[in-house]
Structure 1
């Protein structure tokens, strides 16, 4: 078995990193990321939007089968990091080779359901790699051991388990205390905030889905150092 904590990082950072995928990324998304994150990394074809907008990624990670020659030829060779195995997605390849306090992922919540499911799978499998995915209306992240979110009352707070999980909460209309959530059982979609939300989760495996407007609050929570972090899994 391989200890994923021993995988050599391609990118190391003490600050958050933006990771761009090959899905749809609007001009507002790019501006949003650039106003919050200084370091830019691309997963394969995600390099295209950066290059076309005049920004060179510091690393391009993946099997590189989606990167057109007109973009690839403009990238310095020492910034290309091909990983040819086909057992994982470019998002997964990238996330496991980035060591940072937080990754902001753009271009991974597109129209294809299978792509979204694969991305969610990687969020859970790479449980020690904090990542917030930005979509057109929502953000998605793997719940850390604990998190406090000062979000507005009535905002939707959806909790979706990809493993059997338990925990406790404050500030939710329907608390999760003493509940067992699992993919083929009880889930927590369309819950609502009634006050500042606090989650305590007993183990990895729970996705949190919030309105896009909560992005800054969630990023600040992760960067506060108070959320804790799940240990690297062994595969």
Structure 2
């Protein structure tokens, strides 16, 4: 596997070309000193007054006027068309956590592609931030502190089994698959929720107002999934 384009010891912000609600973008800009654009996501950063530290993608959505504002050494053209710009970015970033915005709407096909990348790049801890939801791939074990009766959705990207405490409907003993059983619209029954999974195939979906706790829990999770064979 090639060396990453960008390596940081702190969380970074990754901005795609889709909608990035200002109410969520501004706090992420304040939190993350390093900002990366996935192709046309550079326009969102520039409009917010932030010069991208890197632009990564096939560059088919990066306008000439935006490109002219970015130092040439920060622009990384990856021409292959077998992956999305989100995948090109995530596989070329090494950081403890990536906050991704501009990937969850409004097109459903783009959202599904982004969720597939979260699963495919299971060794990269990443939270996708949308207008209503924050979504992350669950690590092998995670513990969160949340209000009781909070919406806590889980969605499988393949066959996966889990154990839980603190959820109204426990996960133990169930087969979760996209075609047969999902875990959407569950809710917390205690302030502490603990989850364990046997494969990197379960997405956690929380109200975006609880993004800080999801980020804390991911950064604190003791174990991670290994990289997959795909480059």
Q: TM-score range by the shorter chain?
A: over 0.9
Residues 101, 222 of structure 1: 8 Å contact kept: no
Q: What is the aligned partner in structure 2 of residue 138 from structure 1? A: 133
Inter-partner Cα distance in structure 2 for 1:158 and 1:53: 32
Residues 7, 96 of structure 1: 8 Å contact kept: no
Of 224, 229, 234, which residue of structure 1 is paired with 2:229? Answer: 234
Of 90, 95, 98, which residue of structure 2 is paired with 1:95? Answer: 90
* Structure 1 segment 1-235 matched on structure 2, within 5 A: 6-195=1-190, 196-224=192-220, 226-235=221-230
**Structure 1, 153-162 or 24-33: larger mean CA deviation:** 24-33
Inter-partner Cα distance in structure 2 for 1:122 and 1:7: 18
Inter-partner Cα distance in structure 2 for 1:47 and 1:35: 17
Inter-partner Cα distance in structure 1 for 2:25 and 2:96: 20
Q: In the comparison of the two structures, how many residue pairs are matched? A: 229
Residues 100, 127 of structure 2: 8 Å contact kept: yes
Structure 1 runs of 4+ with >4 Å offset:
none
**Structure 1, 214-223 or 92-101: larger mean CA deviation:** 214-223
Inter-partner Cα distance in structure 1 for 2:25 and 2:125: 20
For residues 195-227 of structure 1, the C-alpha deviation after alignment (integer angstroms, 9 at most, x for no partner) is: 111101111111110011110001111222x34
Inter-partner Cα distance in structure 1 for 2:137 and 2:93: 16
Structure 1: stretches of 5+ with no match in the other structure: 1-5
For residues 134-170 of structure 1, the C-alpha deviation after alignment (integer angstroms, 9 at most, x for no partner) is: 0101100101111111011111111110110001000
TM (norm. structure 1) is: 0.95
Residues 125, 137 of structure 2: 8 Å contact kept: yes
Inter-partner Cα distance in structure 2 for 1:109 and 1:169: 27
Aligned-pair CA distance for 1:37? 1.4
Aligned-pair CA distance for 1:7? 2.8
Residues 57, 78 of structure 2: 8 Å contact kept: yes
Structural RMSD (CA): 0.9
Structure 2: stretches of 5+ with no match in the other structure: none
Inter-partner Cα distance in structure 2 for 1:228 and 1:132: 17
TM (norm. structure 2) is: 0.97
For residues 118-148 of structure 1, the C-alpha deviation after alignment (integer angstroms, 9 at most, x for no partner) is: 0000000001001001010110010111111
Residues 221, 227 of structure 1: 8 Å contact kept: no
